[in-house]
Amino acid sequence: MGRTFFRGANLIDGINKPQPNTTVVVEGDRIKAVGTNGNIPKPTVQDVVYDLGGKALMPGMVMCHYHVAYDNVSDLNDIDMKHPPTYLTLIAAKNAELLLRSGYTGAVGAGTMHNIDVTLKRAINRHMIPGPHFLACGRDLVTTGDSVDCHPSFWKMNMDGLARICDGPDDFRKAVREEIKNGVEIIKLYPTGGHGLMWPADVMTMSQAEMDAAAEAAHERGKKIRGHIISKKGILAALKAGIDVIDHGDMMDEECIEGMLKQGTFVVPSLYFPWKMVEEKRKTGKASFGGVDEMAKGLEHSYQIIPKAQKAGVKFVIGDDFGVGAMPHGEYASELEAYVKGPGISPLEVITWATKNGYELLGLGKEGGTIEAGKLADLLVVDGNPAKDIGVLKDRENLDVVMKGGQLVTCQLTPSKARLQKAA
């Protein structure tokens, strides 16, 4: 098997400023060499050479809040009742492929029913279907009457849907153990309302003791735990419990930031969803989900606090509720632009959130997330400069190459034949 040479790349490696005219050599599933023409091997006839002429080469991205099985959800009941599990699994498989083709070589689940994340991960890893590296999530572990406990009692559903109802620390402990038994690698909790849910942000929908028990049961088994947490009170309680990922965290402040830094907590702001809802209401006078006024306040606060948290060193990652409301699957990279246009984070910093930080949360920090010799060849070639205009990533047509583990997922480039003959 020959090697693949990408020459003349504008290298965005996930850490440093762009480095023009760089060559990246891929051999097998790994990056073999990265450098300028003097310090890298020469191609031979067995090798494939692509001359990029200044196109960007960057690491594959990670969607760190992903609902692979949400299919155009316009109401929470849709999630459980729209499709039978078999059909929904096929829809999810198509979404996983779409995510990969959109430049995301990794995904961290944020809640799914019928163990679909686990099933997909197995099928992807056996090369049965194309898809990203997956950290599998399971059902939403919630208390009675929580926002996600959405089916009216008189329906007497008694189904294994998205929500698993737990009351009291023992129930949470048992649920976490069962989820992990079924292959789940990251547990999802709902400690507060807000960010589009029925309960407002300042309502705690879990007790401290319940959060502590769930986190302990996950960590004892070496698994991660995440939570939908909006209010300051909720964030501080989650930090006390040792939750690994704060989803949204709209109302974080300096005290929360201090705790996040101390514990290395990941934060997924998911600003695209509230921005979309607020815009929708502004334009049409109504919104597909409730709590828009509260989300508008959260958004305003996020725009102020996120740059401070970024400066302080909080580990931000990207990911959002695609598959809900006016956010169809495939529109993924629109989220990246929301961090540049809203809180004014630089495109290069957002790329680091999407790549280096994402791989760290995925548990593959040593294996990927940056373009360095020895790492997995999970990379993108982009027709454009995302370090200047991150919006170029929104159009899949601009993704000339998506490569995962050295395998081409998409390739719109033609190998440089003339150069090959010269090398021969």
Contact 357, 369 (CB under 8 A): yes
> Least Å distance between CB 145 and Zn ion?
19
- Contact status: 118 vs Zn ion (CB under 5 A): no
Measured in whole angstroms, the distance separating CA 341 from the mean position of its chain's CA atoms is 19
User: 3-state DSSP call for residue 307?
Assistant: helix
Distance in angstroms (rounded) separating the CA atoms of residues 339 and 353: 11
Distance in angstroms (rounded) separating the CA atoms of residues 159 and 152: 13
In the complex with Zn ion, which residue's Cβ is closer, 196 or 343? 196
Stretch that binds Zn ion, among 13-21, 104-112, 171-179, 396-404 (CB under 5 A): 104-112
Distance in angstroms (rounded) separating the CA atoms of residues 96 and 68: 6
- Reading the block at residue 157, the tokens are 């559903």
**Distance (Å) of CA 307 to CA 117, 214, 346, 348, 356:** 33, 31, 10, 14, 18
> Least Å distance between CB 110 and Zn ion?
5
> Least Å distance between CB 320 and Zn ion?
8
- Contact status: 110 vs Zn ion (CB under 5 A): yes
> Least Å distance between CB 255 and Zn ion?
25
- Contact status: 378 vs Zn ion (CB under 5 A): no
Ranked by CB distance to Zn ion, the top (closest) residue is 321
Among 80, 171, 179, 321, binds Zn ion (CB under 5 A): 321
418 exposure class (CB count in 10 Å sphere: 0-12, 13-18, 19+): exposed
Site string for Zn ion, 59-98 (x = CB under 5 A): ----------------------------------------
Main-chain dihedrals φ then ψ at residue 392, nearest 5 degrees = -65, -25
> Least Å distance between CB 228 and Zn ion?
7
Site string for Zn ion, 221-240 (x = CB under 5 A): --------------------
Chain residues in the site for Zn ion (CB under 5 A): 110, 321
